[in-house]
Amino acid sequence: MNRTVADKILLVDDEPDVLEFMCYNLEKEGFQVFTAENGKEGINEAIDNDPDLIILDIMMPEMDGIETCRELRKLPQFEKTLIIFLTARDEDYSQIAGFESGADDYITKPIKPRVMLRRIQALFRRVQSDLPGTIIKVGNLEIDPDKYLVNIEGKGLTLPKKEFQLLSLLASKPGRVFKREEILSKVWGNETIVGDRTIDVHIRKLREKIGQEYIKTIKGIGYKFNQ
């Protein structure tokens, strides 16, 4: 099943303050974050945790970001993993070396949280747009991302865009609890200002159309799709 967004991010930087700052902002958006303080440690963490995105500082002791990226790209499981470089340097030769080693994007320090998040989201949207949709089947419910259609007990159902995206997100991982902040980020994005009740209204409309049994409310946390 194709994922639509990153769930796990590995941060590799030798500055504890930078790691703490980035962890805070990414975890706030619902990502699961792992950290390492140098390239060698980063490769081990990547192997252990299989991240969806790796963010590498270029200037690090033991093994710098460019060498780390090259080593990761040699491993089959990381051939297509998204990699972003962080650096305080913005010289052209650094960017060229970074992209030649296999990086997908490049962010300079000091890091601006909103810019960082938008770049991450843009990367995953770009990757997703290149992938064919995978039909999601859960019980009597079938979701076809390519056709933007929902079939329930053999009957076709057309949903508004946001309701469809919300249903697809929840159904993509049955049994997993999605926090409200994560749902807002993944369905509505950071650019759109929505009210606190937006998710609740869309959930209510979905339940009216597909039935009450599919989506469960986890009080004070979010929602999950019943298996």
Higher pLDDT, 95 or 205: 205
Degrees (nearest 5) of the Cα angle 18, 23, 27? 160
d(CA 43, CA 30): 23
Q: Which pLDDT belongs to residue 38?
A: 95
Asked whether the predicted pLDDT for residue 118 surpasses 70, the reply is yes
Given pLDDT bands bounded at 50, 70 and 90, which one contains residue 90? low
Give the range with max mean pLDDT: 42-46, 99-103, 143-147, 215-219.
Answer: 42-46
Report CA dihedral (146, 147, 149, 152) to the nearest 10 degrees: -80
Three-state DSSP class for 146?
coil
Q: Which pLDDT belongs to residue 72?
A: 94
Cα Rg of the chain (Å, integer): 19
Given pLDDT bands bounded at 50, 70 and 90, which one contains residue 198? confident
Given pLDDT bands bounded at 50, 70 and 90, which one contains residue 192? low
Q: Which pLDDT belongs to residue 2?
A: 39
Q: For the chain, list the domains and their CATH numbers.
A: 8-129 (3.40.50.2300), 136-225 (1.10.10.10)
Asked whether the predicted pLDDT for residue 6 surpasses 50, the reply is no
What are the CA-CA distances from residue 27 to residues 9, 42, 47, 109, 131 (Å)? 10, 19, 21, 19, 26
Q: Which pLDDT belongs to residue 193?
A: 58
Higher pLDDT, 98 or 143: 143
Q: What is the pLDDT of residues 37-77, one digit of tens each?
A: 999 999 999 999 889 899 999 889 889 999 999 999 999 88
What is the β-pairing status of strands 8-12 and 82-87?
Answer: unpaired
Mean of all residue pLDDT scores within the chain: 83
Higher pLDDT, 95 or 212: 212
What is the β-pairing status of strands 53-57 and 82-87?
Answer: parallel
